[in-house]
């Protein structure tokens, strides 16, 4: 009798354990940007807040400034492996594994933040998501940042002004355009720009308006070319998620993520309209010379891009060719 009671109690206990909800797994978000000041970090925190308004069971921890000890480019490997759940990731950093991601920094394809936002939900967006997911990553947000140039030694205008510069680039197809203009190109992550300028490894750089300010690049350069009516390039730096982690979310949770992403997209886009102004103000305050590209200079760069970066990219794969065709259809 007692044995039956004990056996019954054991069965009930086991059933209770199986029925109990699993402890919520922490979702780690890693990025290389400054906490609480950089727009990408701010938008990430907004995204988390919006998700938790509707599902407090999802636990997040943000690791800014590479504090999770994963190098910026290596975050993609961690996402693919499923050892990192989320990251704010410049998609061009993935080109070593996914050459098609060069489209996310392709010169001359996007003209403004409004243009970038018009791409959201289009055939281009869907194709880019398809390519990302085939490679183990789901794009959650749609954050595009305007790019600019800065130099220690000279003003940068048209292609003829970069000859002899030791210039940072972040993408092989962009690099081909700069090399054709006569620059010596070095590919490094944005958190390496400051020390590389300081040591003389670089004499000039390109990066986003956000990064020029948040990483204080204005302290190491004397000439800035800001975006404006003629911004040469925009970079997709979204919040992304490991495909394996995304697939573990319930349909309801995925909807919450998408709604939070929409809120963060609006916030981030509004911030980028001010990012160029903040960059200009930071450089003026530092005593640097600030300019924008003229239409003639912009047109010269676009002509060069169409002869170098664009055909080089299209030749990489059928997906690359399709992505370039799709992005250039949206005006």
For 6-48, write each residue's pLDDT tens digit: 444 444 443 333 333 344 679 999 999 999 989 999 999 999 9
Mean predicted confidence (pLDDT) in 108-136: 96
Question: Residue 236: pLDDT band by 50, 70, 90 thresholds?
Answer: very high
Q: Are 260 and 52 in contact (CB under 8 A)?
A: no
pLDDT recorded at residue 199: 96
On average, the pLDDT of the chain sits at: 91
Q: Is a pLDDT exceeding 90 seen at residue 247?
A: yes
Q: Give the percent of the chain with pLDDT over 90.
A: 85
What is the tens place of the pLDDT at every residue in 174-191?
Answer: 899 999 999 999 988 888
Is 307 strand, coil or helix? helix
* Distance of alpha carbon 109 from alpha carbon 122, whole angstroms: 15
* Distance of alpha carbon 259 from alpha carbon 275, whole angstroms: 24
Mean predicted confidence (pLDDT) in 79-108: 96
Is 26 strand, coil or helix? strand
Q: Are 85 and 304 in contact (CB under 8 A)?
A: no
pLDDT recorded at residue 189: 87
Closest by CA to 205, choosing from 228, 221, 229, 226, is 221
* Distance of alpha carbon 104 from alpha carbon 117, whole angstroms: 13
What is the tens place of the pLDDT at every residue in 125-172?
Answer: 999 999 999 999 999 999 999 999 999 999 999 999 999 999 998 788
What is the tens place of the pLDDT at every residue in 255-306?
Answer: 999 999 999 999 999 998 889 999 999 999 999 999 999 999 999 999 999 9
Place of tokens 């991601």: 101
DSSP state of 32: S
pLDDT recorded at residue 319: 98
236: β partners: 144
Question: Residue 233: pLDDT band by 50, 70, 90 thresholds?
Answer: very high
* Distance of alpha carbon 4 from alpha carbon 179, whole angstroms: 81
Q: Are 152 and 286 in contact (CB under 8 A)?
A: no
pLDDT recorded at residue 169: 86
pLDDT recorded at residue 173: 87
Q: Is a pLDDT exceeding 60 seen at residue 308?
A: yes
Q: Give the percent of the chain with pLDDT over 70.
A: 93
What is the Cα Rg of the chain in Å? 23
| Region 23-329: CATH code | 3.40.190.170
Q: How far is residue 206 from each of residues 19, 154, 173, 233, 319, measured CA to CA in Å?
A: 54, 14, 14, 10, 27
């Amino acid at each position: 009798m007692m044995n039956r009671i004990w056996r019954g109690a054991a069965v009930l206990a086991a059933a209770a354990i199986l029925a109990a909800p699993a402890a919520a797994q922490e979702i780690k978000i890693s990025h290389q940007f400054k906490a609480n000041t950089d727009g990408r970090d701010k938008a990430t925190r907004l995204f988390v807040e919006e998700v938790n308004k509707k599902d407090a069971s999802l636990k997040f921890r943000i690791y800014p400034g590479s504090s999770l000890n994963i190098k910026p480019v290596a975050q993609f490997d961690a996402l693919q492996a499923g050892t990192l759940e989320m990251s704010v990731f410049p998609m061009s950093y993935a080109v070593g594994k996914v050459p098609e991601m060069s489209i996310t920094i392709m010169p001359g394809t996007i003209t403004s933040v409004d243009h970038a936002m018009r791409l959201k939900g289009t055939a281009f967006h869907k194709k880019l998501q398809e390519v990302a997911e085939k490679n183990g990553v789901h794009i959650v947000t749609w954050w595009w940042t305007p790019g600019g140039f800065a130099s220690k030694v000279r003003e940068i205008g048209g292609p003829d002004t970069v000859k002899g510069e030791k210039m940072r680039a972040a993408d092989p197809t962009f690099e081909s355009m700069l090399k054709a203009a006569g620059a010596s190109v070095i590919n490094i992550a944005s958190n390496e720009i400051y020390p590389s300028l300081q040591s003389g490894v670089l004499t000039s750089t390109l990066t986003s308006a956000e990064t020029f300010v948040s990483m204080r690049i204005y302290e190491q350069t004397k000439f800035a070319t800001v975006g404006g009516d003629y911004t040469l390039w925009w970079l997709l730096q979204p919040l992304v998620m490991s495909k394996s982690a995304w697939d573990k979310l319930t349909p309801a949770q995925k909807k919450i993520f998408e709604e939070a992403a929409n809120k963060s997209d609006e916030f981030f886009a509004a911030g980028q309209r001010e990012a160029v102004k903040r960059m200009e103000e930071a450089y003026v305050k530092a005593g640097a010379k600030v300019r924008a590209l003229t239409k003639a200079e912009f047109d010269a760069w676009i002509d060069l891009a169409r002869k170098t970066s664009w055909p080089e990219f299209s030749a990489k794969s059928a997906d690359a060719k399709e992505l370039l065709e799709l992005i250039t259809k949206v005006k």
